Amino acid sequence: MRVIPVILAGGVGTRLWPLSRKSKPKQFLKLTNDKFSMFQETVLRAQGLSNNLPIIVCADEHRFIVAEQLREVGIDSAQIILEPIGKNTAPAITLAALAATDQCKNSILIVLAADHFVSDQHAFISQVAKGLDLAEQGYMVTFGVLPDYAEVGYGYIKSGAPISGSAGFLVDSFVEKPTLALAEEYVLSKKYLWNSGMFAFQSDLYLRELQKFEPVILATCQDAFNASQIDMDFIRIPGDIFEQSPSQSIDYAVMEHTQNAAVVPLSVGWSDLGAWEALWKIAEQDENNNVLIGDVCVEDSQGVYVKADSRLVAVVGLRDLVVVETKDAVLISERTQSQKVKTVVERLREQGRDEFSAHKQVYRPWGTYESIDEGERYQVKRITVQPGGKLSVQMHHHRAEHWIVVSGVARVTNGDETYLVTENESTYIPIGQIHALENPGVIPLELIEVQSGAYLGEDDIVRFEDRYGRI
């Protein structure tokens, strides 16, 4: 039976602020190595389970990050479903199941979260494959992680009778996040597993079970999928229909009710990296149990996690703390209290602060820009345009722009003129002038943009033409 990976990439990851933010959450960050983001690691992991292209479900605002990161690992034609609003895992998986059914009448879906860490990839492939065998037999399979300590941040699965001839067990029950005392009992009993949020089942079986237990979710998602539009590489789901779907996890919607639930234990070095302490646990530690990343100087400190993103960070006499520095924010927390970072993020959101949602470096489908200086009536940005990338044909009512090329070649449209600007050359765009910027070369175009005018907000853009559909 055909196996199709489904990768859920719609999370926000607020507990890993200030690194993880709404505009670029943790699944798109290189948290565990310098080569791949967690999303890319998940995609590569899925390739060990199936040769078929994955179905990605992500937020609309992350569509170009997803497409670019897929391209970086050699995938150019995956189905990318854009959720107009987050409705939890059951509707997201339903959209993927409907898309899979369009490809093949019945397939086995292997559902993976884009923001999980697995240290033993070979063990993961072999153990998950045992779950795929059960899925082919008609079980709704969930994967439970063998716990090695009492964790109160995870839900648990109580395993029941073993399934003959397999590595799986019937599911006795799903358990909410417990108290510490209960979690300790669970670990000692050896009957409970961490709920990993990974699943395997036949697509048409999932849809039939959803029809039994949550028919409104199925009907709404079916209507939304039928009304979807293909936009470049994306399947765009209409928000006015999808927002009518109940917000429900797959556990509540199906897995806790189905008579076909099975669990396969995993021992693969798994973590959902839900907080900074989790990153401290999986990272390489020095002789004082410190994790030091970036330009860090440490003295007389133990059990600390220190990450410096843009400058030197020195720490003295600290014990069991987290220190995370980015270009516009610094987090200092007791390591065991790092789950509470999401409360700080919510407060920033209520205050309307940009640090809640965006980094200094902002990602666009054509590349990135970063504000490096600003004051009254001026702003300076560093702009990177990827090869073949083009900013929209646009104009501004309130600002003029000077562009200075640092490296690469720029093709500039300035009113009725189109010309090339090369390294160490510059050009000027007056207020109200229709203009565009493109990289016709094969290396990234780097330039400095100096804006001047009475209003410098990002909403002072009138787009006339855009290859990325943003008009």
Same domain? 67 vs 107: yes
Other CB atoms within 10 Å distance of the CB of residue 86? 13
Tell me the C-alpha to C-alpha distance, in Å, between residue 414 and each of 375, 402, 420, 432, 446: 26, 12, 11, 11, 19
On whether residue 255 sits in a domain, the answer given is yes
On whether residue 353 sits in a domain, the answer given is no
Task: Determine the Cα–Cα distance for residues 451 and 159; give it in Å rounded to an integer.
Answer: 62
Which has more pLDDT, 357 or 267? 267
The CA-based diameter of the chain, rounded to the nearest angstrom, is 76
The model's confidence at residue 348, banded by pLDDT at 50, 70 and 90, is: very high
On whether residue 230 sits in a domain, the answer given is yes
Same domain? 186 vs 331: no
Q: In the chain, how many H helices and how many E strands?
A: 11, 30
> Contact 439/364 with Cβ under 8 angstroms?
no
Same domain? 172 vs 47: yes
Query: Residue 149: CA atoms inside 13 Å, Cβ hemisphere, count?
Result: 8
pLDDT in the model for residue 153: 83
| 332 CB-near residues (< 8 Å, 6+ apart) | 321, 322, 323
On whether residue 298 sits in a domain, the answer given is yes
Range with the poorest average pLDDT among 145-154, 166-175, 391-400: 145-154
On whether residue 213 sits in a domain, the answer given is yes
Q: Which of 312, 346, 380 corresponds to the end of one domain?
A: 346
Task: Determine the Cα–Cα distance for residues 187 and 413; give it in Å rounded to an integer.
Answer: 65
Mean pLDDT over 329-336 rounds to 94
The total domain count for the chain is 3
Same domain? 233 vs 107: yes
Mean pLDDT over 77-89 rounds to 93
pTM for the model: 0.89
CATH code for position 407: 2.60.120.10
The model's confidence at residue 102, banded by pLDDT at 50, 70 and 90, is: confident
Closest CA to 248 of 81, 87, 84: 87
On whether residue 54 sits in a domain, the answer given is yes
Q: Which of 299, 320, 346 corresponds to the end of one domain?
A: 346
Same domain? 258 vs 284: no
| 342 CB-near residues (< 8 Å, 6+ apart) | 14, 15, 17
The model's confidence at residue 27, banded by pLDDT at 50, 70 and 90, is: very high
Q: Token match 């987050």: residue? A: 86
Task: Determine the Cα–Cα distance for residues 241 and 220; give it in Å rounded to an integer.
Answer: 7
On whether residue 356 sits in a domain, the answer given is no
Same domain? 45 vs 186: yes
The model's confidence at residue 471, banded by pLDDT at 50, 70 and 90, is: low
On whether residue 207 sits in a domain, the answer given is yes
Same domain? 91 vs 237: yes
Mean pLDDT over 173-190 rounds to 90
> Contact 13/22 with Cβ under 8 angstroms?
no
Task: Determine the Cα–Cα distance for residues 296 and 109; give it in Å rounded to an integer.
Answer: 44
Q: Which of 221, 247, 271 corresponds to the end of one domain?
A: 271
> Contact 322/331 with Cβ under 8 angstroms?
yes
- Please determine, for residue 157, whether its predicted confidence score (pLDDT) is greater than 70: yes
The model's confidence at residue 104, banded by pLDDT at 50, 70 and 90, is: confident
Same domain? 241 vs 205: yes
What is the share, in percent, of the chain residues with pLDDT greater than 90?
80
- Please determine, for residue 142, whether its predicted confidence score (pLDDT) is greater than 90: yes
Which backbone phi and psi does 278 adopt, to 5 degrees?
Answer: -65, -40
The model's confidence at residue 66, banded by pLDDT at 50, 70 and 90, is: very high
Same domain? 46 vs 182: yes
For 34-45, the DSSP string reads SS--HHHHHHHH
Same domain? 137 vs 158: yes
Domain housing 236:
3-271
Q: Token match 């073993």: residue? A: 162
Task: Determine the Cα–Cα distance for residues 233 and 365; give it in Å rounded to an integer.
Answer: 13
CATH code for position 36: 3.90.550.10
Same domain? 149 vs 239: yes
Peptide bond into 246 cis (omega under 30): no
> Per DSSP, what are the bridge partners of residue 362?
369
**Which tens digits make up the pLDDT trace of 276-323?**
999 999 999 999 999 999 999 999 999 999 999 999 999 999 999 999
Q: State the average pLDDT for the chain.
A: 93
Task: Determine the Cα–Cα distance for residues 459 and 210; give it in Å rounded to an integer.
Answer: 42
Same domain? 280 vs 158: no
The model's confidence at residue 207, banded by pLDDT at 50, 70 and 90, is: very high
pLDDT in the model for residue 404: 98
Mean pLDDT over 428-446 rounds to 97
